[in-house]
Every structure is written in C-alpha cells, then in structure tokens.
Amino acid sequence: MIPIQIRPDQVMDEITTFQNKLGVGMQNLADAQDIPTGVTPKEAVYREDKLTLYRFQPPAAVVQNPVPVLIVYALVNRPYMTDLQENRSTVKGLLDAGLDVYLIDWGYPDRADRYLTLDDYINGYLDRCVDEVRRRHGVDKINLLGICQGGTFSLCYSAIHPDKVANLITMVTPVDFQTPDNVLSHWVKHVDVDTLVDTMGNVPGELLNWTFLTLKPYQLMGQKYLDMVEVLQDKDKLDNFLRMEKWIFDSPDQAGEAYRQFIKDFYQKNKLMHGGLHIGDHEVDLSQVTMPVLNIFAEQDHLVPPDASRALGKKVGTQDYTELSFPGGHIGIYVSGKAQKMVPPAIGEWVEQRTK
C-alpha cells in the first residue's frame, strides 16, 4: 500500500504558498546588490602573468607564528571560497589562530596560457611564490596549506623541494585517484584526453561545471532551486545562497597542457600512488615528503572520497603524520559553522606545536 496522505486542496495550498514565497522573495532578489566575496583585507605582494600572491592582514590583537603559511588553492575554482564571508572564512580562522596567511590566486587562464604545464605551475609559479614569501620573512622554510587539487600540487612540490617546506597541511586532497568510490576518476576512464586538449586548447570552465553538477544533478540543478524559494524571504540567507551560487559557476578555463597531464597521470594512471610521476625534470616520490604532515579530509566528500586522501598516510616519508577527519562535505569544510570552529584552530595548534 502506498502511504500517501495528501488531499487535492492541500496540493493547491502548497502551490499557492510556494508561489507567494516566490513572488515576495523576488523583491529581495531585485534589491540584491553585487555580493562581495573575499572579505578579509589583503594586499597583493607579488604578481606574475595572471597570478597574484596575496598576504592577508592579521588581526592586531593576535601575535603571529613567525613561519608564514601559504595557501595553494585548486585551479578549477576560485580561491575566495576560503574567505567567502565574515563568519565563514577559513582565512580569518587561520589568522585568528595566529598564522600569517598568504594565498595564491591563479587567475583566469586564457588561450595564450594553453601551453602552461604542471611543471610551470608547480616548479615555476608555486616555487617563485614560495621564494617570495621566504624572502619577505627571512626564513628558509615556510608552511604550505594545499586545498583539493592545490593539495596535490603542494604534495608534489614538497616532494621535489622538501628543503623549502617546514610543515605541510593538505585539505580534501586526492592522493589515490582510483578508489572505487571516486566518480570523477571512473568518468574519465574512457575519455580521450589528448583529443580533448588538442581540440579545445584550454578546457572550458563550462565543461568542468557540467561535470561537477552531474555528480548529483537532481539535487544541484533541481532541488536546490526549490529550496532557494524557501530562503528568498530572508535577506541574509539569500545573500549566502547567491554568494555560493556565484562561486559554483565561477570556474576558470583550464590551461590545456596542465589539464592533459593532470587527467592522464593522476586520474587515469594514478601515478602519485604507483610511482613514475614526473613534473618537468623532477620525479615525484612521496617518500621525500619528510616534513610534518597534517592531512584533513571530509567524511562526506563526494568529490574527493576520504579514502582518496587517507592513502597519503602510507606514502609519505615523514614519521610525523596526523589525520584530521571532518564530519562534513567537500565545500562544508570551508564554509560550515562547524568547520569554522574546528578546522582553522586545529591547524593553528598543530603548526604551533611544530614551530621551533
């Protein structure tokens, strides 16, 4: 027996209520101004091509750890996710925890950047940013905090240049790209990446958006917008929704050659796990990651499954390896209220304990 207890007049009432909310909420939408993202004051300290290195302004009352931390974000989305709004900012949490925070904004590659390789990103841009931060602080080594794909870059960098990294923090970072629950890896199994890049040059952000949305299409392209009608009445909630919506669809195109190598070597051949990965002239050997490592993953991550991150523990050379499991998803780890209370303070304390 199908247990439906909905009367026809009730259906009409629901539709009427929905419509009323939509109508009233549209006034709020019409009044909505441009939603600011990236709220913590910062200054650009280094620029190269489309890349900008920022340093965030620390709060006056907090004395900082002398070893700065450089956030390395992914190429596939914009880094303001780490500083989305006043009360949802990983950056602010790190500053409050006494860290001196730098962040790389990779910018929006265009067709002239098509031949940028992973070597250019990791041993070029990232290395020069690390050198710039070291120079500014007069230190030999700095802390790296890599997020998602940026975490994978940070791992490669730390394996190649261990002499420049004091402590490594990875957040929602894929290491084993072929765990059975890794949907993205499964999808690209039969994709001819060479033809894709040879044809498109850069890989359009729209294509990546499609890929991410189709991980959960009925929730992300459907149910979410019905839920939005419920928050239209509340200006603050609406602003939060719009901010997130802006970030989700703000996807830079991907430099073709870097994308080619990332998909082939990491997703299709899983070389970070199995070995044989080369970034430029350097072989990446995770046993060379000898500095302390804090590996943070999200338990409900549908993009980077926990096992994909946990695999790091068996691969790194360091004896000082710590895991932190966050009860949430891939995005919640930056923006949820729970994350604000848990993740940045934990990072601050972990770094503090390892700063001599």
The residues annotated with a catalytic role in the active site are 148
Alpha-carbon torsion (47, 48, 49, 54), positive or negative = negative
Asked if 313 is part of the footprint of another protein (rule: CB under 8 A), the reply reads yes
- Nearest approach in angstroms of CB 12 to another protein is 6
Distance (Å, rounded) from C-alpha 140 to C-alpha 123?
17
Distance CA 252, CA 206 (A): 9
**Cβ nearer to another protein, comparing 15 with 87:** 15
Give the one residue of 20, 44, 234, 283 binding another protein; rule: CB under 8 A: 20
- Binding-site member from 248, 282, 323, 329 for another protein (CB under 8 A): 323
Whichever of 55 and 78 has its CB closer to another protein, that residue is: 55
**Residue 115: HSE in the Cβ half-sphere, 13 Å Cα cutoff:** 1
Candidates 29-37, 75-83, 167-175, 270-278: pick the segment binding another protein (CB under 8 A): 29-37
C-beta neighbour count of 323 within 10 angstroms: 14
Give the Cα separation of 117 and 261 in Å (integer).
Answer: 8
Distance CA 117, CA 131 (A): 20
35 touching another protein, by CB under 8 A: no
- Provide the token pair at 170: 């990875």
Binding residue count for another protein, defined by CB under 8 A: 118
Contacts of another protein in 46-105 (CB under 8 A): 55, 58, 61-66, 68, 93, 96-98, 100
Q: Which residues, 238 to 277, sit near another protein by CB under 8 A?
A: none
Task: Give the binding range for another protein (CB under 8 A) out of 70-78, 126-134, 150-158, 268-276.
Answer: 126-134
- From the CB of 73, what's the least distance to another protein, in Å? 22
Q: Pick from 70, 72, 116, 258: which binds another protein (CB under 8 A)?
A: 116
* 190-229 residues near another protein, rule: CB under 8 A: 190-192, 195-196, 198-201, 204, 206-207, 209-210, 213-214, 216-219, 221-223, 225-226, 228-229
Q: Among candidates 122, 70, 330, which has minimal Cα distance to 339?
A: 330
Strand 88-89 versus strand 83-85 pairing type: antiparallel
- What is the CB neighbour count within 10 angstroms for residue 43? 9
Tokens of 281: 């002239």
